[in-house]
Amino acid sequence: MKKLLCALFMALPLLALEVGEKLPTLTLEGKDGARADGEPWSSESLRGKVFVIFYVDPDKKDLNEEFVERLKSEEFDRRYYGSAAIANLEATWMPNFAIEAALKSKQKKYPDTIYVKDRVKKGVKVWGVADDDANFIVLGPQGKVLYFSSGKIPKESYEKIVDLIHTEIDRLSNRR
């Protein structure tokens, strides 16, 4: 019984994201994935601004659409704010070519957002985020996690998250 429990515990992913800690570096290139345009991508590029990151199973892409619209309505200053959407391609039944085409189309429509494809669940492994779900991260300008959640973002959290982003943008803009 002890061996069974130990094996089950070892099989569970440990959540790597802790508020206040630096986001572990995730690099996607070659067969592992890349930006929508095929160029290599690293989370190290998410520095100098406040970034929101959506790491999502494409089957769950609409789970937090209401919150996404709330963020868009703020019209944050893009000098201090950025966004990235990472599709966990291995988490879906949909064919990769269809999702990749959709990402390219979205990249053209929303050029201020970075669209990335993860073909091997590398984000799940490196960051410890939930697989087969929608994950949301707010990242500070030095790469520290300011907020993290998986699943549906509760409506009562919207203002708290938006206020957090405004506070960080204000700090950053006042330093310049």
Hey, where are the domains in the chain? Answer: 16-175
State the average pLDDT over residues 156-174. Answer: 95
pLDDT band of residue 71 (cuts 50, 70, 90) is: very high
Beta bridge partners of 144: 22
Of the candidates 147, 33, 162, which has an alpha carbon nearest to the alpha carbon of residue 88? Answer: 33
CATH class belonging to 16-175: alpha beta
State the average pLDDT over residues 142-158. Answer: 96
Between 113 and 107, the more confident residue is 113
Share of the chain above pLDDT 90, in %: 73
User: Distance between CA 108 and CA 124 in Å, rounded?
Assistant: 27
User: Distance between CA 103 and CA 106 in Å, rounded?
Assistant: 5
Q: Give this prediction's pTM.
A: 0.86
User: Distance between CA 10 and CA 7 in Å, rounded?
Assistant: 5
Which of these ranges, 32-41, 59-68, 106-115, 166-175, has the smallest mean pLDDT?
106-115
State the average pLDDT over residues 102-117. Answer: 86
Q: What is the pLDDT of residue 12?
A: 45
pLDDT band of residue 140 (cuts 50, 70, 90) is: very high
Residues 88 and 125: beta-carbon distance below 8 Å: no
